Amino acid sequence: MKERIHYTKPSVTDREVDFASDAARNGWGEKCYEYIGRFEEMFKQYTGAKYAISTSSCTGALHLGMAALGIGPGDEVILADTNWIATAAPITYLGAKPVLVDILPDSWCIDPDKIEAAITPNTKGIIAVHLYGNLCEMDRLLDIGEKYGLPIIEDSAEALGSFWNQKHTGTMGRFGTFSFHGTKAITTGEGGMFITNDEDLYDTVSVLSNHGRSSSQTKQFWPDMIGFKYKLSNIQAAIGCAQMERIEELITRKREIFAYYHQHLGGIDGIHMNPEQEGNKNSYWMPTVVFDKALGISREAAMDAFSKENIDARVFFWPLSALDMFEDVLQNTNAWDIPARAINLPSYHDLSIAQLDRVSSVIQDGLLR
């Protein structure tokens, strides 16, 4: 049998192991937050954000940020129907309602025109998810936010290293969030980051993220409000520090992998891949192929073809409104149609040319034959 090609895995070197070992041996007592502070500083420097708070997940970061904005029962938050559940779930934690709208056919990100049509007096926020590293139309979204007095929240879980008009994702809205799951561009195993340029919002999230205890509180074990526990451990942050030292290398490699796929697949009629608008930079976290309907290639046929070659691939996100916990929104035609004829390709950092050729040939010599 041919060697297994996985769809993703992290890039971990001796540097990450050394940092994690140091944190495990020495990162206690007065040093228990040393790597955490360092990780947050490195992340601020890379993204250009003024404030950063590391968290146990991107989901936790979203929950904290929306709670700090005062989103609660009876409120509505608009987001794209094409998303992982992790974006919608924190809305429900707060008792609010996710309002699911359609995506654009090219970037697969939220359609700005559909946002305006979905705004009601109960709308309290709009989440812009930069799907697979692709960029939302941030100029339009920010204009809508200003017009209606609504915060734009950037879910950049999949878009570390993507830039809109030279501004890093997560820095343009009211706040941004990131994921460091083992599948992401950098990893801490599990983990996330909240970033913002809003000092008041940062202060509120700082308190909420520490069981409601304010840094200015002089009493020990005296919370000032009900908060949450979404902290990242010092050992995880140590791994994150080593990853951030390699961030340019890791993002560059992601772009090289996409470029190779695009060279071999992007010019084929009926195949569409992640776009990169002029003046922007796509980190290409997850190279994706969408087949034209005319080709007659289904998600199931693509998955079966890759499986026969012992290659992991993954399906395009299902529409959230297709899940049992939400109501169907069949008018979201792109969100319901595109996943049925799309596939995510393997993209881990140490893929060889021979492996990339094997992946490409499944489409070139198999599905399109």
Task: Locate the domains of the chain by residue range.
Answer: 14-101+108-245, 247-367
- Name the pairing type of β-strands 167-168 and 288-291: unpaired
Predicted confidence at residue 290, as pLDDT, reads 98
Enumerate residues 6+ apart whose C-beta is below 8 A from 167.
Answer: 48, 138
pLDDT at 217: 82
Q: Count CB neighbours of 167 within 10 A.
A: 13
In angstroms, how far is CA 122 from the centroid of its own chain?
A: 26
Q: What is the C-alpha separation between 138 and 276, in angstroms, rounded? A: 14
Which pLDDT score, from 0 to 100, does residue 340 have? Answer: 98
What one-character DSSP code corresponds to residue 150?
-
Q: Measuring CA to CA, which residue among 285, 311, 317 is closest to residue 299?
A: 317
* CATH 3.40.640.10 corresponds to the domain 14-101+108-245: yes
pLDDT tens digits, 304-324: 999 999 999 999 999 999 999
**Token reading at 83:** 């998303």
What Cα–Cα distance (Å) separates residue 288 from each residue in 223, 272, 304, 344, 347? Answer: 46, 8, 16, 4, 10
The pLDDT of residue 216 is 83
Select from 80, 32, 84 the least CA-distant residue to 315: 84
The pLDDT value recorded for residue 24 is 98
The pLDDT score that the predictor gives to residue 369 is 79
Closest by CA to 180, choosing from 163, 158, 200, is 158
| DSSP per-residue string spanning 127-139 | EEE-GGG----HH
For residue 214, the model assigns a pLDDT of: 86
Low-confidence ranges of the chain (pLDDT < 50): none
Distance CA 303, CA 126 (A): 33
pTM: 0.97
- In terms of CATH architecture, what is 247-367? Alpha-Beta Complex (3.90)
pLDDT at 306: 97
